[in-house]
């Protein structure tokens, strides 16, 4: 129950109450059930970023994805990614680790524009490795972290796994509105 309350609070961060001349705000609520999350989380393959839904709510899109990260290798370089147009809010579903954000990176390269990660999940992004993070924090089940667009982020010290929801704010409508993960289409 606490997880659902926390998720509801996170989603409230993305609501806007502005009115324009043509009211283009969404007229219906969108449900993502616990079963939907588990179905997509346990889809084939591990370590993937799996978009669940993208909803056009008028001035911007909101998407919800579920991600899984496996155990990290102690002493290995820490991968970093940033998203140029999308802010993410992480809600840790299970597991724990250390999340690095900001700071300096090495070898930054754009993610190919024709990949699913760019076209469906997070828009234009860059991969790198951390030289030094600006912030390092332990995260565990129930924690929430907001990562603004452009901020590099990556996990280290994951002893077993970490599963988390990512609620994404997309003010440029870059993500494909109306997207529903193929396993959830009826």
Q: pLDDT digit of tens for each residue in the chain (186 aa)?
A: 565 545 544 544 444 443 344 555 668 899 999 999 999 998 865 557 899 999 999 999 999 999 999 999 999 999 999 999 999 999 999 999 999 999 999 999 999 999 999 999 999 999 999 999 999 999 999 999 999 999 999 999 999 999 999 999 999 999 999 999 999 987
Domain extents in the chain:
2-12+31-176
pLDDT at 28: 86
Q: Are 9 and 142 in contact (CB under 8 A)?
A: no
- Quote the CA–CA distance of 152 and 124 in Å, as a whole number: 13
- Quote the CA–CA distance of 98 and 115 in Å, as a whole number: 27
pLDDT at 2: 60
pLDDT at 67: 95
pLDDT at 9: 44
Give the architecture-level CATH label for domain 2-12+31-176. Sandwich (2.60)
Q: What is the tens place of the pLDDT at every residue in 73-125?
A: 999 999 999 999 999 999 999 999 999 999 999 999 999 999 999 999 999 99
- Which tokens is 74 given? 């102690």
The reported pTM is: 0.85
pLDDT at 180: 96
pLDDT at 46: 57
Beta strands in the chain (DSSP E): 49-56, 61-70, 79-83, 87-101, 104-110, 125-132, 135-140, 144-147, 153-156, 161-170
SS3 state at 57:
coil
Q: Are 26 and 128 in contact (CB under 8 A)?
A: no
- Which tokens is 148 given? 């603004």
pLDDT at 87: 97
pLDDT at 16: 42
Q: Give backbone dihedrals phi and psi of 107, rounded to 5 degrees, phi first.
A: 55, 45
């Amino acid at each position: 129950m606490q997880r659902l309350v926390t998720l509801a609070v996170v989603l409230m961060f993305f609501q806007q109450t502005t009115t324009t001349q043509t009211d283009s705000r969404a007229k219906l609520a969108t449900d993502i059930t616990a079963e939907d999350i588990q179905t997509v989380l346990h889809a084939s393959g591990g370590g993937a970023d799996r978009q669940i839904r993208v909803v056009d709510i008028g001035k911007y899109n909101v998407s919800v994805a579920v991600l899984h990260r496996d155990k990290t290798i102690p002493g290995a370089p820490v991968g970093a990614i940033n998203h140029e147009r999308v802010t993410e809010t992480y809600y840790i579903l299970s597991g724990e680790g250390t999340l690095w954000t900001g700071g300096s990176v090495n070898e930054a390269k754009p993610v190919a524009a024709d990949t699913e990660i760019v076209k469906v999940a997070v828009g234009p992004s860059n991969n790198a490795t951390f030289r030094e993070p600006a912030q390092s924090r332990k995260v565990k089940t129930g924690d929430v972290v907001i990562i603004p667009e452009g901020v590099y982020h990556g996990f280290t010290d994951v002893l077993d796994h970490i599963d988390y929801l990512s609620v994404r704010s997309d003010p440029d409508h870059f993500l494909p509105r109306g997207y529903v993960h193929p396993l959830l289409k009826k």
